[in-house]
Amino acid sequence: MADVYLYGHVSTGVIVRLQGRYPEPDGYGEIVETLENHCGEATGSSIVLARLGVSTVLEGNWIGDTPACRGTLAFLESRGIDCSGLIVKPGYAGVNEITISDGESRTVFGNYIDLLQTTRQWEMPTPAGSSRRRWSALILPSARRHSQSRALPRPPGSRSSPPTHPMTPSWPRSPTLSPSQAS
C-alpha cells in the first residue's frame, strides 16, 4: 500500500537555458543548455516524495502517445512512482511545455489552456485508490495562472466558493489532516 496518492498535472517539457539575458523582441539568444523537464504540480510533488522514500501513486491527465511523453512516464516509474493509473492515449499529443530561462527569469510556453478549457483530457481520480492511502492530495494549478485571469465558471448557485477546476472530482473529499492528526 502506498503512503500518498497524488492527482494532478503530468507534463513533458524542456528547459532551454540562454547565455546572458533574454533577448529583446526580434533579437537573438544563444542556447547554452537544453534539459528534459518532467513537470506539473503533482509530478514535481511525486518526485520529491519518492526521493524522500515515500511510496507514491500518481494519477492525472492523459499521457501523450509520443516518445517524449512516454519518456516522462518511464522517468517517473524509474523513480519508484506508481503510475499504473496514468493512461497513454493513442493519438494524443500530451501536455507539453517549453521553459526558456536566462538564469534570472524564465518564460513558460505550453498548452495548459487546451488541457484546462477544452474537452476533457484526463481520467477522474480513483476514489478507491485514494482511500487506501495514508494521504491523498489533489494538486491542481490556479486556473487564472494558465488562462490569464479568465476564471473558470462557478458551480450553479455558489457565489462565495472558488472557481471549479475542470479536473475537480465529484466524489466526496476526505477531511484534510495535519501531520499530527494522521499519526
C-alpha cell at 136: 491523498
CA distance 112 to 119: 12
Assigned CATH for 4-168? 3.40.1190.20
Bigger pLDDT: 171 or 136?
136
- pLDDT in the model for residue 132: 60
Q: Three-class SS string for 130-168?
A: HHCCCEEEEECCCHHHHHCCCCCCCCCCCCCCCCCCCCC
Average pLDDT estimate for 81-104? 95
CB atoms within 10 A of CB 27: 8
pLDDT band, very low/low/confident/very high, at 146 (cuts 50, 70, 90): very low
C-alpha cell at 106: 524564465
What digits encode the pLDDT tens for the residues 166-183?
444 443 344 343 343 443
- pLDDT in the model for residue 64: 97
CA distance to 31, 54, 123, 158, 162, per residue, from 143 (Å): 31, 29, 19, 18, 11
CA distance 19 to 81: 35
Among the listed residues 138, 112, 108, 111, the one whose alpha carbon sits nearest the alpha carbon of residue 125: 138
Instruction: Quickly tell me which residue has 479536473 as its cell.
Output: 167
- pLDDT in the model for residue 117: 87
Q: Tell me the pTM.
A: 0.73
* Residue 161 reports pLDDT greater than 70: no
Residue 58 C-alpha from the chain's centroid: 10
**Do residues 73 and 40 lie in contact, with contact meaning Cβ atoms separated by under 8 Å?**
no
What digits encode the pLDDT tens for the residues 4-60?
999 999 999 999 999 999 999 999 999 999 999 999 999 999 999 999 999 999 999
User: What are 138's strand-pairing partners?
Assistant: 7
pLDDT band, very low/low/confident/very high, at 125 (cuts 50, 70, 90): confident
Among the listed residues 100, 109, 108, the one whose alpha carbon sits nearest the alpha carbon of residue 21: 100
Q: Which range (10-14, 73-77, 128-132, 162-166) has the least confidence?
A: 162-166
